[in-house]
Copies of this chain bind each other. A is one copy, B any other.
Amino acid sequence: MEGNTGRGSGRRGRPGYDLGTLLDVAVRVFNERGYEGTSMEDLAQRLGITKSAIYYHVSSKDELLRLSVNRALDALFAVTEEKASTTGSALDRLEHVLRRSVSVLVAELPFVTLLLRIRGNTRIERQALARRREFDRIVSDLVKQAESEGGIRPDVDPALTSRLLFGMVNSINEWYRPSRSLQSTEIADAIITIAFDGLRNGPAREPS
């Protein structure tokens, strides 16, 4: 994650705010008012600083967006490179990626929320969507491999399955509030239980 704030890290001499604080506030305002609907002037007012103080850290609003969505994307890609994501059975690796994605989503909630709202209107947005697709492909490949290893049932479509699994994971951003008592591990447990063992009590239906 440090890489994302690299540009500002050598400049953190000013009192009161640094690039990290700037991003925290910017992403909150983008999520409230929409990226398009937020001006650098809005951000300056919210931060109680001048626009030129923002330009001290970033060259444009687009750069704020890029740094914000990359914070979420870098954290997700880091998950796919963890040891438990790259060694062991594909089923176990898939479970690990799902669990850790839940924890990233909870830890980086505003940044992931911003990422999930992106529609591809600008070059920065299209780059972010391309990275999301790359992440989806990694998950979809894990599902495919788990099928061929016999770890998961053979009658599911890997691409559709990976979309539905991340439908559950990403839905967290719709309803999760950090103040409530639900822990990220409880949510991850529930997703893994539903996805891998199913809700039905008693024997599962045979794969058709």
> Which of these, B152, B163, B170, contacts A199 with CB under 8 Å?
B152
Given contacts A160-B190, A161-B190, A167-B170, is CB(A197)–CB(B201) below 8 Å? no
Tell me if A195 counts as interface (CB < 8 A to partner B): yes
Digitize A34-73: 1 where CB-to-B-CB distance is under 8 Å, 0 elsewhere: 1011000000000000000000000000000000000000
Are A193 and B152 within 8 A (Cβ)?
A: no
Digitize A145-173: 1 where CB-to-B-CB distance is under 8 Å, 0 elsewhere: 01000111111110011011111111110
Tell me if A75 counts as interface (CB < 8 A to partner B): no
What number of A residues sit within 8 Å (CB to CB) of B?
45
Copies assembled: 2
A154 surroundings in chain B (CB, below 8 A):
201
Tell me if A17 counts as interface (CB < 8 A to partner B): no
Chain B nearest CB, measured from A72 CB (Å) = 16
Are A161 and B197 within 8 A (Cβ)?
A: no
A182 surroundings in chain B (CB, below 8 A):
160
A153 surroundings in chain B (CB, below 8 A):
193, 197, 199-201
The residue among A163, A198, A199, A205 with the most chain B CB atoms within 10 A of its own CB is A199
A155 surroundings in chain B (CB, below 8 A):
193
Are B198 and A194 within 8 A (Cβ)?
A: yes
Nearest opposing residue in chain B for A169, CB measure: B167
The residue among A143, A195, A201 with the most chain B CB atoms within 10 A of its own CB is A201
> Which of these, B146, B171, B198, contacts A197 with CB under 8 Å?
B198
Are A190 and B156 within 8 A (Cβ)?
A: yes
- Give the 10 A-B residue pairs with the shortest CB-CB distance, closest first: A167-B171, A198-B198, A197-B204, A152-B199, A197-B198, A167-B168, A164-B168, A196-B200, A167-B167, A153-B201
Q: Which residues of A contact B (CB under 8 A)?
A: 34, 36-37, 91, 143, 146, 150-157, 160-161, 163-172, 174-175, 182, 186-187, 190-191, 193-201, 204-205, 207
